[in-house]
A and B are shown apart, each in its own frame.
Chain A
């Protein structure tokens, strides 16, 4: 089903619609088909104008079995189209998941426009002259459905046909079967009278440029490769497989021609410590994980804080705590990223706000990490990771020049007047320490997790020195606020009383909600934080300029807690932790209620 969704997305992207997707699948690899927990879905919104979310309420549901219908019917507006695979709606299958009868026939769905199509048997019939078994033929039913949908929405089909040829190049009979099924579905739409209309959704007006469709994990992977190029540091990824971050490991492992080294470690701790070891040697050290992995890496991230070495920690957040909901989205690792280490161990946090934004967010994380010699958290989430949208390709020659300069000369004079290297001498402006890598003659030095003497970096247990070093490390991170873009506020009226403040993947739903609120004739301002630690320098001014600040989050109010603590304002949290992104309409209602209160 995910493959079918991907193909429809590609066709839609190629056609030039704006789009946004929401893949939603169980953690189990082969969850039992026909059960509610086994339902795998792919939601897609596309339009002839720019859109910000995968949509709140699908206008069409393709239900391959009764469980898929039951799991998704609540999201549909009345009058929506339901195309159901009639072959699967046996009485037994319906009763198995709690229907008393066949909902396609017993009037349960009277408020919808239901079309039962025997997708399976029609696919098998269409494939009877091909060389595949009945079982394989049945598996091609998704392609039949895709063909039908492609007809209904006038999608270009060439790319899907090419894709099927390519994907099944080693088993031509399977490629053939899928293509025949796809075409049979398309032709069925054209010839049947079951569907009175087909829809034409014109391309969306977009800025001139070259576009592609991209998911968050893919964009993040490319961003890391780009960061390696612009910093001039070879990329080293130390990682342990974990949902929903593994695709970044998979993707980066393909790019060895860029000098990318990927190390699938024995555990999360080895992943981050290997990355830190590589960073000590002058690589751009990266580790990718999700929340449970961050918990395991905490001590090593603290070491990175103490060593003051660049390190990028990518946390593709998922539902927690513990193993939680591996394939569902959540934003509940913000406070873990902020505080989840022993001692005073500040770490900058960067959060992308859309799938394609993961590209530039990765470069920004690398900029901060290398310039300030610090671990940086890059907080993505499951929704960004697997969701996709059109992306206008950036001009790679216009990417920022982040070349790193290593120390090559002594920077201090010892008591006898001899030149020496002090690894903890700092740049006056950034407070970043000097970074000399092994292989540099004359600058041999030792770093470690024990407290450092200011400047020399020798072990020091001196009380005053520790107090100083704790404050210096904090001041270094706090100072990054001067070096990030100010928090931008979108307030078309210029006179809104209510500000909606968000971070990360809620950007789309919040933006869509604000549009709806404004369409209702109300005034609302929107601001979205890309830097969570430190906040941009103007954040306090922004939040204090509004009488109410609503903070929607997919957690129990973690950003709200930080904003309240830092700026002493009575921020209004709006929280949801059901593993799914916000719907625009629910946020619009919350915002409207706040404005009216």
Chain B
């Protein structure tokens, strides 16, 4: 096996065994009763993932879903793959241990805005910077669901919830900006109800070798209903969404009447859709500054919300590098020999049996 250390040479699941037969979505449904609230956006994501997994064509037993705690983290129970529902915030670290020790597995992390960005924020940023070969699906509903309706680290400032009767004081995280700041190599956003877009983003994320972070806007119909409605309703979505596509002009509005260009100062500004200065999206640009600027362009009312792949660049992958070090060590020193290891450099040998008495003290 040769080791190429960039994803330009190796695809995401090149080391994962492929299935002998075509698969169906049904084969990825477990026998467990799905226990999300009726109407929850998680159902749509589950259905999209179950439909998408056969497309990967990987052996089902080589796929693992790891989750933390929260509504979204029940996800692994409903998939007929290997899975672990772990503890709050730690799924990226668990998945790091699994993925780095088992390059033959396709490892997914399912997490939420509280799990990934609050209690697990540290693991998320370190996983992203290491670029472990994982696909992270971050369900962002901007609320705590399982604990019954407190504000989350992505809730808008001033939000009235059970724990913030006078409005939340916390400035929210923007998960895309955070991921880009943590030097993530793949960052994308999609929406639970847009099956086609969600599937396309999953496809791009799973083709990327390294950590892929996919933020999925997900509706919590109990505690934060319609939080993303303007991005979904047929009469508003075209005006509110900016659909990012690599190599395409960054335009929005019905009929692509508006576009995004750089102002004289270098910041982004809105222009006419046919303005010759309209920016062309380059997800593969090593310089993350445009991706970051796009992540900041959204207005508080969600106008100008970019979805799609913000960034998709190649960087050496942590698990590949670790495997390469093991191979280098073996190439240099051979497979380790325990007896010579424990003997170390300085030994001495006693050949005579010990005398019975020890009265030789001076």
The residues of B that contact A424 with a CB separation of less than 8 Å are: none
Residues of B327-362 whose CB lies within 8 A of A: 328-330, 332-336, 338-339, 341-344, 346-355, 358, 360-362
The residues of B that contact A259 with a CB separation of less than 8 Å are: 326, 336
Stretch from A87-95, A168-176, A278-286 that touches the partner: A278-286
Q: A48 within 8 Å of B by Cβ?
A: yes
Interface of A is mostly: mixed
The residues of A that contact B84 with a CB separation of less than 8 Å are: 277, 280, 307, 446-448
Task: State the total of A-B contacts with C-beta under 8 angstroms.
Answer: 230
Of B97, B322, B343, the residue contacting A275 (CB under 8 A) is B97
Q: A348 within 8 Å of B by Cβ?
A: no
Min Cβ gap A411→B in Å is 16
Q: A443 within 8 Å of B by Cβ?
A: yes
Q: A79 within 8 Å of B by Cβ?
A: no
Q: How many residues of A contact B (CB 8 A)?
A: 78
A257/B339 contact (C-beta < 8 A), A48-B360, A449-B86, A450-B85 known = no
Stretch from A196-204, A473-481, A488-496, A540-548 that touches the partner: A196-204
Q: A552 within 8 Å of B by Cβ?
A: no
A50 to B98, CA, bound (A): 46
Q: B100 within 8 Å of A by Cβ?
A: yes
Contact A448 B93 (CB under 8 A): no
Proximity bits, A435-467, B CB within 8 Å = 1, else 0: 000111111111111100000001100000000
A443 to B63, CA, bound (A): 12
Of A13, A47, A263, the residue contacting B100 (CB under 8 A) is A263
Contact B60 A210 (CB under 8 A): no
The chain A residue sitting closest to B90, CB to CB, is A273
A226/B342 contact (C-beta < 8 A), A274-B97, A438-B82 known = yes
Contact A49 B361 (CB under 8 A): yes
Contact B334 A261 (CB under 8 A): no
Contact B102 A281 (CB under 8 A): yes
A279 to B66, CA, bound (A): 13
Min Cβ gap B334→A in Å is 7
The residues of A that contact B93 with a CB separation of less than 8 Å are: 238, 265-266, 269-270, 273-274, 277
Stretch from B73-81, B212-220, B228-236, B249-257 that touches the partner: B73-81
A438/B61 contact (C-beta < 8 A), A205-B358, A257-B330 known = yes
Q: A329 within 8 Å of B by Cβ?
A: no
Contact B122 A266 (CB under 8 A): yes
Contact A274 B126 (CB under 8 A): no
The residues of A that contact B95 with a CB separation of less than 8 Å are: 277
Contact B90 A393 (CB under 8 A): no
Proximity bits, B301-321, A CB within 8 Å = 1, else 0: 000000000000000000000
A389 to B193, CA, bound (A): 66
Residues of A202-251 whose CB lies within 8 A of B: 202, 204-214, 222, 225-226, 229, 234, 236, 238
The residues of B that contact A208 with a CB separation of less than 8 Å are: 350-354
The residues of A that contact B335 with a CB separation of less than 8 Å are: 257-258
Contact A269 B97 (CB under 8 A): no
A225 to B80, CA, bound (A): 35
Interface of B is mostly: mixed
A267 to B127, CA, bound (A): 12
- A200, A285, A303 pick with most chain B CB within 10 angstroms: A303
Q: B30 within 8 Å of A by Cβ?
A: yes
Contact B126 A270 (CB under 8 A): yes
The residues of A that contact B362 with a CB separation of less than 8 Å are: 48, 199-202
Contact A49 B97 (CB under 8 A): no
A445 to B63, CA, bound (A): 11
Q: B4 within 8 Å of A by Cβ?
A: no
Contact A210 B102 (CB under 8 A): no
Q: A276 within 8 Å of B by Cβ?
A: yes
Contact B62 A439 (CB under 8 A): yes
Residues of B231-249 whose CB lies within 8 A of A: none
A205/B77 contact (C-beta < 8 A), A261-B322, A303-B87, A458-B32 known = no
The residues of B that contact A300 with a CB separation of less than 8 Å are: 87, 90
A371 to B279, CA, bound (A): 61
Q: B104 within 8 Å of A by Cβ?
A: yes
The residues of B that contact A519 with a CB separation of less than 8 Å are: none
Contact A449 B85 (CB under 8 A): yes
A200 to B64, CA, bound (A): 65
The residues of A that contact B66 with a CB separation of less than 8 Å are: 277
Q: B101 within 8 Å of A by Cβ?
A: yes
Contact A14 B105 (CB under 8 A): no
Contact B77 A446 (CB under 8 A): yes
Q: A566 within 8 Å of B by Cβ?
A: no
Min Cβ gap B352→A in Å is 7
Min Cβ gap A278→B in Å is 4
The chain A residue sitting closest to B105, CB to CB, is A438
Residues of B7-53 whose CB lies within 8 A of A: 17, 30, 32
The residues of B that contact A445 with a CB separation of less than 8 Å are: 82-83
The residues of A that contact B126 with a CB separation of less than 8 Å are: 265-266, 270
Contact A273 B97 (CB under 8 A): yes
Min Cβ gap A420→B in Å is 9
A282 to B59, CA, bound (A): 18
Min Cβ gap B119→A in Å is 10
Min Cβ gap A234→B in Å is 7
Min Cβ gap B280→A in Å is 37
A276/B94 contact (C-beta < 8 A), A393-B342, A441-B61 known = yes
The residues of A that contact B353 with a CB separation of less than 8 Å are: 207-208
- B32, B101, B102 pick with most chain A CB within 10 angstroms: B101
The chain A residue sitting closest to B322, CB to CB, is A261
A276 to B344, CA, bound (A): 30
Contact B326 A444 (CB under 8 A): no
Min Cβ gap B61→A in Å is 5
Q: A30 within 8 Å of B by Cβ?
A: no
Min Cβ gap B340→A in Å is 9
A280 to B66, CA, bound (A): 11
Of A270, A275, A277, A446, the residue contacting B85 (CB under 8 A) is A446
Q: B195 within 8 Å of A by Cβ?
A: no
Of B32, B333, B361, the residue contacting A48 (CB under 8 A) is B361
Q: A120 within 8 Å of B by Cβ?
A: no
Contact A207 B30 (CB under 8 A): no
Of A14, A211, A212, A447, the residue contacting B83 (CB under 8 A) is A447
Proximity bits, A54-76, B CB within 8 Å = 1, else 0: 00000000000000000000000
5 tightest A-B CB contacts, nearest first: A448-B85, A277-B97, A274-B97, A258-B336, A256-B329
- A selection of 12 A-B contacts at a CB cut-off of 8 Å is A205-B354, A205-B360, A208-B350, A212-B343, A257-B335, A257-B336, A273-B90, A273-B97, A280-B84, A438-B63, A446-B76, A459-B77
Chain B residues close to A by CB (< 8 Å): 17, 30, 32, 59-64, 66, 69, 76-77, 79-87, 90, 93-102, 104-105, 122-123, 126, 322, 325-326, 328-330, 332-336, 338-339, 341-344, 346-355, 358, 360-362
Extra pairs beyond A273-B87, A446-B83 (6, CB < 8 Å): A16-B350, A202-B360, A261-B100, A283-B101, A438-B63, A439-B62
